[in-house]
Structure 1
Amino acid sequence: MKEKIEHFSKGDFEYELPLICLSDEEIRIKVEAGKKKEGSFTVSASTGRIISGTVYSTNRFMKVDNPQFHGVENIIHYYFDAAFLKEGERFDGELCIISDCGEALVPFLAEVENSYFMTSLGKIKDLFQFTNLARADWSEAKKIFRSEDFERVFLSNEERYRTVYRGLMGSISTSQALEEFLITIHKKSAIRLEVDKTEIEYQISQEQISDKIVLTKNNWGFAEIRVSADAPFIVLEQKFVWADRFIGNTHQIAYTIDPVHLKYGINYGNILIKTAYQTLKVQVVCRYRKENRKVSDRRRWQKLELGLVDNYLSFRLNRIKVTEYLAEAEAMVGRLPGPEVNHRKELMRIHMAIVSGRRKLAEELLVDLSAVDGVLKKKDGFEYCCYLYLEALYKREDALTQVAARTIRSFYEGSRSDWRLLWLLLYLDKKYEKNRGDKLQDIREQFKLGCRSPILYYEAVCIVNEDAYLLRELNDFEIQVLNFGIKNWILSKEAAQQYVYLAGKRKTFHPVIYSGLCKLYDEYGTTEILSVICSMLIKGMQRSEKYFPWYRLGVEAHLRITELYEYYMYSVPDKAEITLAQPVLLYFIYNSSLSDRKKAFLYASVIRSKDKFESIYRSYYKRMEIFAEKMLEGHYISRNLALLYKEFFNKSTLSDEVLKNLPYIMFRNELECGNPNMVSVIVVHKETGEEETAALVQGRAQIDMYTNNLEVLLVDNLGNRYAQSVDYTLTPYLNPEDYENRCSEQSDHPMLLLHLFDRYESYRIVSDKAIALRKKVLGTPGLTPRYGALCRQTLIEYYYENYDDELLEQYLEKLDLSQVAPAERTKYIEIMVIRALYDQALEALETYGVEGISINRLVKLCSGWMLREEAAIKKDIMVSLCHYVFTNKKYDEAILSYLVEFYEGPTREMFSLWKAAKQFDLDTHRLEERLLVQMLFTESHVEESFMVFHGYYRDITNHTLVRAFLSYYAYKYLVHNYAVDQELLPIMKRELYYDENDICLLAWLKYNADNNRLTEQDLIFAEYNIARLVRKGIVLPLFLEYGNRVALPERLTDKCFITYYSDPKKQIYIHYRLEKDQEYITERMPNMILGIHSKEMVLFYHEELEYYISEESSEATDLTESFHIRYEREEMPKGIHFQQEDEASNYGRINRMLRARELGDDDTLLELMGHYIKQELMIEACFYPIE
C-alpha cells in the first residue's frame, strides 16, 4: 500500500484500473462435522499485471492460509474449520479481497454435514452402512476400520462402542477385531461351522487317497479357521482357512491319506477344525493291507492267534463255557492255513479233540502227525514241542510225560526267548507241582526277558492265589500280574490282602498300584485297603481334587494317618461349598499348617456350619478374625474370604484400618469362562480409559468392577480380543453398597471415589457430600478429560448457584470445554464472562465461536477486557469479537475505540465504523488514515469519503498521504471527469502554496473556469499559473476559458485546439486534411499531462478540417471515427476549442475580410484590406527581428 501511495503523491496514476479476475465467483462447500475442508481460488488482474492485496474473511470458521498476496496469478488457499460444529449447521459470509485493482467479494456458503467415508458404495455415514460395506467388500471395510477417522465418523455419539473399538484395536488380527466389533454392535452374529461328515473310513492298499471335507458356514464375516491332524498319515493341503475364501457358504478342505505312515490293520486319526468358538472333529479310519500274499497270510495268522489266545483266556477265566470255547476255537482254526505253511492247524485240532473228549479223533490226528515228527523237530521246534505235549496229554503215561518234559525243557533252555515252551512245561514238568516258587520264578524270568503275555499273567495269578505268601515285594512283575488278576476279578482274598499289605509298605506313589487298590476297595471295602490308599496318596503328595473322595472316606472312617486331614483340605475343591465333618473342624482348632487358601476354605466351612457346631465356631472365632484382618490387609479375596469378610466386617464392627483396606477388594468379581482358547481378560473403565489385564487360570480370573461404565474383553492365545461373542459369567464377592458409605469416611481410594461418583452422576445427586467427593475425584490418577470435565461442570454449577466466587473461578479456569456437550458449552462461556474470566472466555470463543452467546454477554466481555493493560495491544480475536457486536448494533465507546485503533477490513465496513465513532465524538485519526490509505490503494469510491479526508486534514500527520489523496481526486476529476467535493478545491489551492502540484492546479483551474465570482487575487493566481504551465509546455484548452478575464499567453491566441484523452503509455496520432482531395497529414499529438493529448491549429473562416485519431500500443493500433470541423462560433464538437477572436489581430482582420467577401460587402472588404496593408508596412518600418 505504501508504494502505491508514494506513486499517487508523485502524480503517477494508472489510466485504467484493471479488473479483478476470480476463478470462483462464489464458494459453496460441504464440510464434514469435526473436519476441515480446504479449497483455493485464484486472483489475478485482467491486464495480466502483478496484483497485490489482502484477503479478509467475515466468518471466523472460514480462514485463509495466505491472506497477503502479490503476483500475476495468486492462489488463495482457504479452509473451513468444522472441528466443533454439528451436522445441519449452515454458515455464510464473504471473503473480502482488498487489492490495488480494487475490492471484490467472494460470497461463501458452508453446510456442515454428517461425517462420512467415500467408498465403493458411495458415502457411508453410519454403522448400518458400514456393515453393508463390510458385507460387500471386507478388505475395504477393514481399511476404514483401521482409519484414524473411524471413531469420529461412526462413533462420535456412541461412547460405549468407542471404548469397545479402542479395546478391540489391540487385537493381533484387524479382521478379527472388525468381526468382533460388528458382533458387539449387533450387526451380525458369530460364524458357526458345520462339516458334511464326522466319520470317514478308507480301505488303503499302496496308493495315496485324496479326498475333501465340505465346510459350511452359517453367516458372512471373518473367521480364522485352523485345520490340523493328529495322525501323520493325514496330510492337509492347508492349515489355515479364512471365511472370506468360502465360495458362497462352503469351502472344501482337501487332504491326502499317505500309506507311508500307516501301520498294518486299522489306523485311527482325526482332522481338527478350530475357531475361537468351536472345535470340530472328523474321525478318519484307515484299514491298511498290502497286496503281498505272504505278508497278508502272516497278518491273518497273527490275528487268528490273538483270537485264539483271547478265546482261551475267556475260557480259563470262566467267562464262557467249554462248548462255547470249542465252537469259537474250531471256527478260527478252520481259517488257519494248511500243512503247506505249518502244522499248527492240526495241532489245534488235536487239542480241541482232547478237550472235548473225542479221543478217537485225537488218536487219529496224532498218528497222522507222528509220521512227520522228524520233520517237525528239524523245521519248527515249537510245533514239535506242542506235538510232544499233546501226545503226553492224550496218553497220560508218566514215562511219556517225563520224556516230553525233558525234551521240551531242552528246547526251552536252548532258547529262553520263547515263553510258549515255558507254558507247556508248566503243565508237564512235575517239579512245578512240588515247588510253586520255582514256577513263579520262571514266569518272572520271562517277564524280565520282555514277555507280556496275559497267559503267563494268568498262570502267575493262579500260583499267587494258591500261595499268597509267595508275594514278598511289589516289583514291576508283581504289580503287572496282580493288576491283571484284579482287573479280571480272579485274585483271591488272601492274595488281595497280601497285595494290600505290600502296597502299604511302599514309600512312593504308583498309579497302577493305586488303580488296583481302588478296585479292591470297590470289591471288599475294608478299612485296611482305604488306609493304604490314603497313605499312598499322602506319601506321593497327591493333592489333586480327584483324590478328595479317598481323603474324605479316610476322615469319615477316622483313620489315624499322619497329615490325612491336611491332605483332605488340600484336595477339597475350592468351589465346592462342602460342610466339613466335625472331626476335621476339631482337628484344625489347635493344629493348622494349611496354606492361606485352604485356611480360608476351612474357616468358611466353620462359618457355614456355625449353627450346627456352635462351640467349634466359638473356638475358631478369634483365629478367624485375625486371619480375615491379615488377608484384608494383603488385599486378598476369594469366595471363601468373602464369607469371612462378611462375617467379621459388618457395618457395626468396621475399624478404621478395615475401612481403609476394603476398597481394594470390595469391587472385585470372579469371571469364569469355559472357552479353552481364552487366556486372559482385559477390563477398561471409561473413567480412566486404562486397560487392566488379568490372566485366566483354569478359566477363572479376578477383575475389579467399580463403575457401570466398563467393558470386558477376553483375549485368546493368539492375542485377539473378544467383547461379545465369547460367553462368560461374573460373580461379585461382596456387595459394595454395604460398605461404600463407611469406607468413604476413611479412604480416598480411586476405585471407591469413582464408584461413588458414578452413582452420584447416575442419580444426579448434588449434596455437600457429593460435591466434596467430586473434588477428590479430580485428583484421581488417570482420570480421562471427559470425566474431569463432567466433574467440574457439576462443581461450577453448584458454586455458581451458591455464590462461591473463589471456587467457581478456580474450576472455571480448569474446565476443558472440548469435553463439554455443545448445547451446554455456551452456558459455561457466559459464566466465564460474568465472572470476568476474560482470557478463558476469549480462548473459548476463538475455538468454538460466538454462536449461541448472548450479545449482551459479548458486549460485557469486550468492555471488560478493554479495561486491562492488554487492550493497548492488538488481539485478533478481540478485534473480531468487537466487530461482531458492532455489526449487531450493540456496542459502547470502549468497543468503538478499540475498533478505531485496530480494525482492518472492507472499505465499507471501515467507513461504517468511522461514522459510528464520529457519533461518539471519538478520536478517529488512526482509523481515518487507514481508511484513506485503503481507499487510495483500492481506488474505491465511497459516498461521503471526502468527509473522512476533511476529518484527517484537520490534524494532518502524513503529508504524503494528503498529497496522494488530493492528487488522486484531482486526477480523476481532470482526466475522467469524476465529481469532486467543492470543499477539496480550497484545500488543493492552499497546498499549492506549500508544494507545487500541477495536477491539483489544473483541477482547480478546470473547476473555476466558468466561475465568475473569482476574486482579483484568484484571477492573478490563475493568470500566473496559466502562464507558468504554458512555459512548461502544458497547453490545455481549459486555459482559453479565462481569456476574457486574464491575459493569456500569445501561444493561446488565434488557435483551434483538438483534445484527446487516453492512456499516457499509448502513442496518439492525428490524421487530418483541409481539402477532401488532399492526402491526410499525420502528426503525433503530444501528451500534455496525464494522458491529455492536445493539437493546436489555425483555422480561418469557413475552413473545414477533416481528421481522425489513432492509438498505438505494443499490442495493436485503434482508430477513431472521422470528424469534421469548421470555423464556426456557435457549437464545436467535443474536444474542439477556439480562442475568442481578437478583431485587432491579423487573424481577426483576415476572418473579417472573409466574412465581408461572403456577404458581398466590397466597401467593407476594401477598407479592411487597406488597414491591414498599412499596419503591416508600419510594423515592418518600425520593428525588426531581434537577433
Structure 2
Amino acid sequence: MREMRDRILAEGWRKAEGQLNFSTKRVELAGLPDQKLEGYFTIESTAGGRTEGFLSSSDGRMQCLTPFFSGGAEQIEYRFDTVGMQEGETRSGRFFIVSNCGEYELLWTVSVLEREGESTLGRIGNLSQFANLARTSWREAVKFFYTEDMRRLCQKQGEELFALYRGFGANAGNEDNVERFLVAVNRKQPIAFEPVRRQIAVEDVRGHISEEIQILKNGWGPVRLSVKARGDFLSVERSWIGEDDFLGNLCRVPVFLEEGRMHAGRNFGEVTFSSLYGSFTVEITAVKRAPGTGEKDGKGRALRAADVRLVRLYEQLRMKRMDPEEWRTKARECVEEISHLIPQSPIPRLFMAQILMTEDKMEEAGWILNRVQLKSRQEDPAVFCYYLYLTTLYNREEAYGQKVQQKVRELFEQNPGEWRIAWLLLFLAPELDRSPGRKWAFLERRFSEGCTSPLLYLEAVQLMNSRPVLLNKVGGIEKRVLMYGARNGILGRALAGHAADLIGREKYYDPVLFRILKLAWEKKPDVEVLQAICTLLIKGGKTGPAWYPWYYRGVKKELRIARLYEHYLMSVDLEREGKIPRQALLYFAFQSNLDYEHAAWLYAGVERHRDEDTDLYLTYRPQIDRFVEDQLSKGRISRDLAWLYRRVLKPRELPKEALDQLASLLCSVEVKAPDKAKGRIAVVYARLKGEKIYAMQGGKACVDLYSRMDQVFWEDESGGRELLNGKASMTPLFADPGEEFEKEILGLAEDVTGLALAVTDPADPQVCPENEEASMTVVAEPFLEKGFGRKLRIALLRYFEEQDRPRDLSLLLGRLNPEDIEPGDRTEIVRYLALQGMYEKAYEWQKQLDPDKQDPRVLLRLCSRLLDQGRYREEPEMTRLCYASVVHRKYDACILRQLTERYEGSVREMEALKAAAEGFGIDTYPLCERIMEQLLYTGQDVTERMDLLRQYVAEGGRSGLEGAFLHRCAYSGVMEGQPVHRYMIHDMLRMEKNGEPLTDLCRISVLQYFAKNRDAMDAAAEEAVKRMGSRLLEKGIQLPALREFARLIPGAEFLQDKTFVVYYGAPEEGICLHWRLLPEKGGGAEYVSARMPHLYEGIYAMSFILFPGESLQYFITAEENPGLRKESGILKAVESDPAEEGRYGMLCAVSARQLAGGWQGLELLNRYLYMDFCADRLFFPLKED
C-alpha cells in the first residue's frame, strides 16, 4: 500500500477501471479428518494496465499459499488443515481480497466427510451397504470386515453396536463371525437348509448303489455344511458342502449303500448335515433280502408279527395281567390270522386245539389233533413235539405221558438249540417240576447256550420268585433274568430284596444292575433296594442332579452307607434353594471335604435357615466365617458365595485387600448355556477397551458385566463366536449396585471401577449426587472406550458447574486434552476453561475451533484477560478471536485496542471498529492510517471521508500519505466530477504554503474550486492560486480554470479569448477531436480532425477562438477505434465581461451589439478600428544593431 502512495505522489497513478472476476462464486472443499486439503481458484481482471492485490483468510486453518497477485490473471492456491475436526463438521469463512480494483470477499466452506471404506461396489458408509457387499462378494466383505474402515463405521453406530463388532471382529479372517454379525444387526436372515425328504427307504439293495439327498437352501450367505454318515453300510462322497455345490438353491448329495456291509432285513442309518445354525438328519432305511426270499417275504413278516403277538399274549396271561377269557379271544384272532397266512400248515390247527382245551372242549380239540397231518419229525421237530405235548393234555394216561416225555427228550437231545422243545420239557419232565434247582440249572444252561426266548425268561423269573435262594450271584445270565423281571414288573419282593443284597456286595458300578434296582424300587420302594441303589451309585462315583433323588431318599431313611452324605450334597442342584435334612447338617457340622461350590451351597442353606435351629447355626458359624474369608481371598464367586458375602461380610471391618477383592466381584453375572458345554466365554464391554475371556465349565461361567450393552460371546475352538445375549441365561449374583451393601463398598474400596461402571448409564451418562463418586472413578479409568469417556467427561463438567463446585471443575479441566472430548463439545470446554481463569489453555483449545460457534461473551472474557496480561498480542489468531467477539457486539477497551493496532479487513469493517474504539477513548491513529492507505489502494471514494484526513493531519500524519490522499480527492473532483470538500482545499493550500509536495492534479482542483467559489478566496488563497497557476502554465497545462484568473496569474490573460474542449480519459489513449464551426444562420463547413494534446495524466484539451454567434460542433474518438464516439457536443463562445479590455473583448462586444441590432455596435467597431490603426503606426519592434 505504501508503494501505491509513492506511485500517487509520483503522479504515475490513476484509478483502475474495471473489476476482478473469480473462477468460482464460492470455494467448496471436502475431505477426511486429519488431512490437509489443497485447491486453487483464478482471479482475472477486466481492467487494463497493472492489476495487483493481496489475500487473507478469516480462519487460521485456511492458509493462502498465494498471498499476493499481480497481472491480468493469477492462480490462487490455498490449503485447509482438518486436524482436530470431526466427521460431519463444517467450517465456513471468507477470503478477503484487497486490490487496486477494489475490495472483494470470496466465501469458502469446508466439509469434513465421514471416513468410508472403498470396495468394488463403491464407498461403504453404512451397514446396509456392507450387507449389500456381502451379498455380492462375500470374500471381499470378509476382508473388509476386518479393516479399520469397518471399525470406524461401526463405532459411529454407538457403543452397543461397536461392542458387537469388536466381539465378532476379534479373530481376523473368520467367515462365520462375519455371518453371525450380519444376523445380529438384522442385516440378513440366518441361512437355512431343508432336505426335500427326511426319510429315504431303499428296498432290496444289491451290490453297490447310490441314492440322492436333495437339500434346499433358503437365504444368502456363506455355505458350509458338514456331512457325516452313520451306519456301516453308508458312505458319502465328501465331508463338506460349499456354495459351489448348489445349483441355485438346490444341492444334490449322493449317498452310497454297500450290500456287503448289510445284514438280512432292515438296516438303519442316517446322514447328518451340520451348519452354523444347527443340524438336520436324513434317515435311511435299506432292506437286504435273504437268499430265496421274494414275493413271500411280506407274508413271512406278517407271520412273524403274528407269532410275536401270540407270545406277548401268553406272557400277559402268565403274568396275570390278562384273564383267560380275554386271552382266548385275542389268541384265537392271532391263530386265525396265522391260519390265513399258512393255510396248509398244521401249526394254526395245533394252536386252535390248545385254545379249545383251555375251554374244556376236549372232543373238538381231539378231533383237530386226529386230523392234523404232520411232516417228518426230523423236518420240523419242534412242531412235532408241540403236537405230542397237546396229545398228553388230551390223553391223561400216565404211561402215555411217559412215552411222550421220552420221545420229546430224544428229539431235544437231537436238537439242543431248539428252545421251544426245551420250553415243552419244562411241562413234560416231572423231575424238573419237582426240583427247582434242577429246573434252574436246566434254564441256566439254555441261557448260556444263547437262548433269549422271553418264555424261558418268564419261567426263570417265576422260578426265582418262588425260590429266591436260587439266585446266588449276579452274573450275565442272572442280570438278563432280573432285567426281564424288573422290566415287566414281576420281581417278587423277596427276590428283589435278595437281589439287592447281592448287588450291594458288588465291587463296581454296573448300569444294568442300577436299572434293575431302579425298576424294582419303582414297583415297590423297599429300604433294601434303596440301600443297594445308593451303595451302587457311590461305588460308581455318581454325583449330580440326576442322582440326587436316590441320595436324598437314602439320607431321609438314615441309611448307614459310607460317604452317603458327601454324595448327597455333591448331587444337589445348586440352582435351587432346598432345605437340607438335619441328619446331613449334623454330619457336615464336624467334617467337610466338599468342593467350594457345594460347600457354599451348604453354608448358604444353613445361613438361610439359621433362625430355625440356632444351636446348629452357632456350630456352623466359625466354619462359615473361615470359608467365606478363604474364598474371598481366592477371588471365587458363585450364586451361593455371593449370597454369603452379602450376609456374612461387614465391609467396614474388611482389610483393604479383601475390600478391593469384594468390590471386583460385585458385578459378577452367572451365564448359563447348557448346549455350550465346551469352549469359552468372551465378554466385550461397551465402555472399556479390549475384552475378557472366561473358561466355560458345565455349560456355565461367572463373568463380569457392567451394563446391558456389554456383549457376551461363546467361542469355539476354531475362533468362531456366537452371541449369547438374549439366548443364554444371565443372572446377576449381587443386587443392584444402588443397594446399601454395594454403595457402602463403593464408598470404602479403592479399586471399584467395575462397580462404578455399573452405576453409570452406558447410553446417556448423566451425573447426579448418587453416582458422582462412581463417575469420577470411571472417568479416571485408563482403558475407558474413547466415545463413552468423552460423554462422561462433559457430563461431569456440566454437573460440577450446576453444583457450583469450581475446585472440582478446575481439577478435571486441568487433566483434559482436546482428544478427551468430542469435537462438538470442545467449544463448551473453552467456556469452562475461561470461567475458571485457565485462559492460556482455553486459548490453545479455541485456536483450533470455529469462533463463530463460541459464545461471544466467552471470547470477550478470554481475549480481554489475555491481552490485559500482554499475552499473544502478536499472534494473528488472537486478532481473529477479538474480531469474532466484536462482530457479536461484545468488546471492551483491550479488544478494541488490539484490533485498532492489528486488524486488517475491509474499509467498512475498520471504520466500524474505529467508531467503537473512539467511544472508548482509544487512540485510533494506526487504524486511521490503515484505512486511508486501503482507500487509496482500492480506489474507493474518499471525498466523503474528510474526518479521516482531519484526524490524520491533527495527529501529525506523514505528508506522503496526506498528499496521496489529497491527490485521490482531487482525482474524484477533477476526473470524476465529484463535489470537492472545502477542508480538502484548505489542506492543499496549507501544504502548498509549507512547501510540501503537492501534485498538479491538486493544483488543478484548487483552481477549479476557486473558479466556482470566488467569494471563498482571501488574500492567502489568491497568493496560492497565483503560484499554482503559474506552475501549471510553466508546464504547459492550459485549462479553462486558468482563464478565470487572467488578472491574477501572469500569462493567463492570453487564455481569455479561448474556448476549450476538455476530455478526461486514460493517459495512454490516442484521442482525436473532430470539429466544425456553425455560424448563427446555419450551415457549416466540413469536420476538421486533429489529435488532442495530452496535458496531464488523462486530461486532454484544445482551445478555439469563438465570437458571439459562432458555435463549435465536435465529437471525440480514439485512434484505435475511430468508429466509436467517446464524447460529442456543441460549444458556443464564452460570454466576455463588458469591462474586459483588449481587442478580443472589443470585438466580442461589437459582435454582441450587432447581433442585437442596436446602433451601439458601429460606435464600438469604430473605436476598435482606431485602436488597431494607432497600434500599427505608433508601436514597432526594436531592431538589434
TM-score greater than 0.5 by the shorter chain? yes
RMSD: 6.9
SS in 2 for 1:787: helix
Native 8 Å contact 1:1026 1:1048 kept in 2: no
Name the structure 2 match of 1:870.
871
- Matched with 2:1035 is 1029
Is structure 2 residue 301 aligned with structure 1 residue 297?
A: no
CA distance in 1, matches of 2:612, 2:920: 97
Structure 1 Cα separation of the partners of residues 1028 and 740 of structure 2: 108
* Paired residue type of 1:323: R
Deviation at 1:779, TM superposition (A): 3.9
Instruction: Describe the shift of the 1:681–1:950 C-alpha distance in structure 2 as closer, same or farther (beyond 3 A).
Output: farther
Report Cα offsets for 1:387-439 as digits up to 9, x if no partner: 55446546678778767766776677xxx8x9889878999999999966875
Deviation at 1:901? 1.2
For 1:856-908, what per-residue CA distance to the aligned partner results, in whole angstroms no more than 9, with x for missing partners? x86655443222131532353565446635873x7554333222112223312
Q: 1:560, CA displacement in angstroms? A: 3.7
**Correspondence 1:1129 to 2:1134:** yes
* 2:1115 paired residue among 1086, 1108, 1113: 1108
Q: Partner residue of 2:840?
A: 839
2:1051 to 1048, 1066, 1085: 1048
Q: CA 1:790–1:687 in 2, change beyond 3 Å: closer, same or farther?
A: farther
| CA-to-aligned-CA distance 1:224-280 (integer Å, 9 cap, x gap) | 9999999999x9xxx99xxxxxxxxxxx9999999999998899999999999xx99
Give the structure 1 partner of residue 360 of structure 2: none
Q: Which amino acid counterpart does residue 311 of structure 1 have in structure 2?
A: L
Residues 632 and 726 of structure 1: is their aligned pair in 2 closer, same or farther, counting only changes over 3 Å?
closer
Instruction: Summarize the Cα distance change of 1:208–1:597 in structure 2 as closer, same or farther, 3 Å threshold.
Output: closer
Whether the 8 Å CA contact 1:1067–1:1111 is kept in 2: the answer is yes
Q: Does 1:1089 align with 2:1096?
A: yes
Change (3 A) 1:1105 1:899: closer
Check conservation: 2:39, 2:79, Cα contact below 8 A: yes
Aligned AA (1:301): G
- Say if 2:193 and 2:216, in contact at 8 Å, map to a contact too: yes
Relative distance call for 1:1168 and 1:256 in structure 2 (3 A) is same
> Which of 784, 792, 796 lines up with 1:787 in the alignment?
792
The answer as to whether partners of 1:20 and 1:45 remain within 8 angstroms in 2 is yes
1:336 aligns with 2:341: yes
| Partner Cα separation in structure 2 for residue 210 and residue 686 of structure 1 | 45
Letter in 1 for 2:1035: L
The yes-or-no answer on 1:1070 pairing with 2:1073 is yes
Residue in 2 aligned with 1:503?
503
Structure 1 residues 922 and 793, CA, compared in 2 at 3 Å: closer, same or farther? closer
SS at match of 1:870: coil
Alignment match, 2:123: none
Structure 1 equivalent of residue 752 of structure 2: 750
2: CA distance between counterparts of 1:1111 and 1:477? 138
Shift of 1:632: 2.2
The residue aligned with 1:894 is 894
1:1118 aligns with 2:1124: yes
- Match in the other structure for 1:311: 310
The AA in structure 2 aligned to 1:754 is A
Structure 1 equivalent of residue 907 of structure 2: 907
Aligned partners of 2:366, 2:3: CA distance in 1, in Å? 144
Residues 806 and 165 (structure 1), Cα distance of their counterparts in 2 relative to 1, 3 Å cut: closer
Aligned to 1:732: 734
Q: What is the aligned length?
A: 1074
Quote the residue 1:33 is aligned against: none
The residue correspondences of 1:1154-1165 to structure 2 (distance < 5 A) are none
Unaligned runs of at least 5 residues, structure 1 = 29-37, 116-129, 184-189, 216-220, 241-251, 340-344, 378-382, 1133-1139
Alpha carbons of 1:713 and 1:949: their partners in 2 closer, same or farther (altered >3 Å)?
same
Q: Is the 8 A contact 2:879 2:899 kept in 1?
A: no
2:589 counterpart residue number: 589
> Helix, strand or coil for the counterpart of 1:545?
coil
> Could you say which residue in structure 2 is the equivalent of 1:361?
368
Q: Measured at CA, do residues 1174 and 84 of structure 1 come closer, stay the same or move farther in structure 2, by a change above 3 Å? A: same
Partner of 1:244: none
Tell me if structure 1 keeps the 8 A contact 2:852–2:884: no
Q: Amino acid of the residue matched to residue 911 of structure 2?
A: F
- Within 2, Cα distance between the matches of 1:853 and 1:384? 114
**Structure 2: distance between partners of 1:274 and 1:1029:** 106
Partner amino acid for 1:940?
Q
SS of the equivalent of 2:968 reads helix
- Alpha-carbon spacing, 1:591–1:918, altered in 2? closer, same or farther (3 Å): closer
Q: CA 1:1098–1:453 in structure 2 vs 1: closer, same or farther (change >3 Å)?
A: farther
Name the SS of the counterpart of 1:1083 in structure 2: strand
Cα separation, partners in 2 of 1:691 and 1:877, compared to 1, 3 Å: farther
Give the aligned residue type for 1:628. V
Letter in 2 for 1:1069: C
Q: Classify the secondary structure of the residue corresponding to 2:1101.
A: strand
Write the distance in 2 (CA, Å) between the matches of 1:726 and 1:564: 34
Aligned-partner SS, 1:976: coil
**Is 1:1104–1:1124's contact at 8 Å kept on the other side of the alignment?**
yes
Matches of 1:681 and 1:491, distance apart in 2 = 50
Closer, same or farther: CA 1019–995 of 1 in aligned 2, 3 Å: closer
**Secondary structure in structure 2 of the residue aligned to 1:1057:** strand
CA shift at 1:1028, angstroms?
Answer: 3.5
CA distance in structure 2 between the partners assigned to 1:7 and 1:762 by the alignment: 66
Report if aligned partners of 2:1117, 2:1127 keep a CA contact under 8 Å in 1: no
Contact 1:639 1:733 survives alignment (8 Å): no
Distance 1:590 1:704, change over 3 A: same
Distance 1:1093-1:293 versus aligned 2 partners, 3 A rule: farther
CA distance 1:611–1:982, change in 2 (3 Å) = closer
Partner of 1:514: 514
The structure-2 alpha-carbon separation of the partners of 1:820 and 1:1048, relative to structure 1 and needing over 3 Å to count, comes to: same
User: 2: CA distance between counterparts of 1:625 and 1:958?
Assistant: 96
Matched with 2:628 is: 628
Secondary structure at the aligned position of 2:1095 is classed as: strand
Aligned-partner Cα distance in 2 for 1:741–1:726: 29
What amino acid maps onto 2:867 in structure 1?
Answer: M
Q: 1:311 to 1:1083 in 2, by over 3 A?
A: farther
Instruction: Classify 1:477/1:1036 alpha carbon distance in 2 versus 1 (closer, same or farther; 3 Å).
Output: farther
**Which runs of 5 or more residues in structure 2 are unaligned?**
29-37, 115-125, 169-176, 205-209, 242-247, 358-364, 392-399
* Residues 792-846 of structure 1: per-residue CA shift (max 9 Å, x gap): 555556565xxxx766644454579999999999999777556533335556777
Q: 1:205-284, aligned counterparts within 5 Å?
A: none
- Answer yes or no: is the 8 Å Cα contact 2:885–2:891 preserved in 1: no
Confirm or deny: 8 A CA contact 1:402 1:428 kept in the other structure.
no
Contact between 1:26 and 1:107, CA under 8 Å: does it hold in 2?
Answer: yes
Aligned to 1:927: 927
Q: 1:945 to 1:797 in 2, by over 3 A?
A: same
What amino acid does structure 2 have at the position aligned with 1:787?
L
How far the C-alpha of 1:1043 sits from its partner, in A, is 3.3
Q: Secondary structure at the match of 2:546?
A: helix
The answer on whether the counterparts of 2:663 and 2:746 sit within 8 Å (CA) in structure 1 is no
Structure-2 change in CA distance of 1:528 and 1:1165 (3 Å):
closer
Instruction: Supply the distance in 1 between the matched residues of 2:67 and 2:877 (Cα, whole angstroms).
Output: 16
- CA shift, 1:627, in A, is 1.0
The 1:939–1:853 alpha-carbon spacing in structure 2 relative to 1, beyond 3 Å, is same
Larger CA deviation: 822-831 vs 832-841: 822-831
Change in 2 beyond 3 A, CA 1:865/1:445: same
Which deviates further from its counterpart, 998-1007 or 543-552? 998-1007
Q: Which residue of 1 aligns with 2:361?
A: none
Q: Which amino acid aligns with 1:1118?
A: L
SS in 2 for 1:1118: strand
Partner secondary structure for residue 570 of structure 2: helix
Q: Relative to 1, partners in 2 of residues 1:571 and 1:226: Cα closer, same or farther, differing over 3 Å?
A: farther
Superposition pairs of residues 797-816 of structure 1, within 5 angstroms: 800=805, 809-814=810-815
**For residues 714-729 of structure 1, what are the structure 2 equivalents within 5 Å?**
719=721, 721=723
Q: Is the Cα–Cα contact under 8 Å of residues 1072 and 1118 in structure 2 kept in the other structure?
A: yes
Q: Residues 1030 and 1050 of structure 2 are in contact (CA less than 8 Å); yes or no, is this contact kept in structure 1?
A: no
